Amino acid sequence: MAQVEAIKAYKDNYIWALQGSDNKLVVVDPGLAEPVLDYLQAQGKTLAAILITHHHWDHTTGVAALKLAYPEITVYGPKNSPFTDVDVALSDGDTITELGYEFQVRATPGHTLDHICYIGAGLVFSGDTLFSGGCGRLFEGSAEQMWQSMQVFRDLDDNTQVYCTHEYTLANMQFAAASQPHNEAVLSYQHQVEAKRAQDIITLPSTIGLEKRINPFLRADAIPLGAIPPQFRPQDDEPVAKFAALRTWKDNF
């Protein structure tokens, strides 16, 4: 299993540091350079590559300074993206190899149109698409696109570890409980998360198996229409309609 550590940035961002042999590491979504440079220095490591999931500033602002400090690195990011400071532009189905690990690239539009996820080494770097207990807001894409993106995660092995970019789990579990009042797995996980956050303990990584049991957006098709408040409730018992309704409800929660 790959070794991954969290570097904190901003209020609730995690810059994931994937550890390789010979003191090299790969970072994902460096929204800031300073905490990454500090981490590298403290650990006596060098940077091999950067993976970018989407163009938002809180995922990309550190790239320029990290490239200046480590000119040899490879920056990977999505093709057709407003963020263009990449060495290798990736599309759905591409594979990349770094530190001896192979990652498959999957397009997961919805939060943004350029969003990609990196799947390999027993984990997924899910950016702002799949959060623990939630999903990203629909800034650019449609509910239909995001629901399609959810299927990418549902197809992964249950043991796959989920490394998303934000510590949103506590608020997500409040909504998960409101939308799934009879889901025992949600209530017990909510208590675990509350205990962890009360002690400022990270709630990640999650696993695909856990998310399939608790995440209302990943299991929108399993949520009964009656669980959705009347002002958000769709006419039809269709997965996409329920997903869209849950997303709108959460935006107003």
Instruction: Report what 242 binds from Fe ion, Zn ion, none; CB cut-off 5-8 Å by kind.
Output: none
Residue type, 45: K
- The piece of 2-10, 50-58, 234-242, 243-251 that touches Zn ion (CB under 5 A) is 50-58
Stretch binding Fe ion (CB under 5 A), from 53-61, 114-122, 198-206, 212-220: 53-61
* CA gap 244, 148 in Å, rounded: 12
**166 touches Zn ion (CB under 5 A):** no
Total residues in contact with Zn ion, by rule CB under 5 A: 2
Is the Cβ of residue 58 or residue 167 nearer to Fe ion in the bound state?
58
Q: Which residues on neighbouring strands pair with residue 24, listed in sequence order?
A: 46
Rounded least distance, CB 166 to Zn ion, Å: 8
Q: How far is the CB of 28 from Zn ion (least distance, A)?
A: 13
Task: State which of residues 29, 98, 114, 128 lies at the interface with Zn ion (CB under 5 A).
Answer: 128
Residue 29 interaction partner, one of Zn ion, Fe ion, none, beta carbon < 5-8 Å per kind = none
Do the beta carbons of residue 29 and residue 165 sit within 8 Å?
yes
- In whole angstroms, how close is the CB of 86 to Zn ion at the nearest point? 17
- Work out whether 58 is an interface residue with Fe ion (CB under 5 A): yes
**Site map for Fe ion, 122-141, x if CB under 5 A?**
------x-------------
Backbone phi, psi, residue 103, to 5°: -120, 135
Q: Which is nearer to Zn ion, 128 or 211 (CB)?
A: 128
56 binds Zn ion (CB under 5 A): yes
Q: Position of tokens 């999957």?
A: 106
For the bound state, the minimum distance from the C-beta of residue 212 to Zn ion, rounded and expressed in Å, comes to 23
Distance in angstroms (rounded) separating the CA atoms of residues 135 and 107: 15
Strand order from edge to edge, sheet including 13-19: 4-9, 13-19, 24-28, 46-51, 74-78, 88-90
Q: Which stretch binds Zn ion (CB under 5 A): 4-12, 122-130, 175-183, 218-226?
A: 122-130
| Chain residues that interact with Zn ion, rule: CB under 5 A | 56, 128
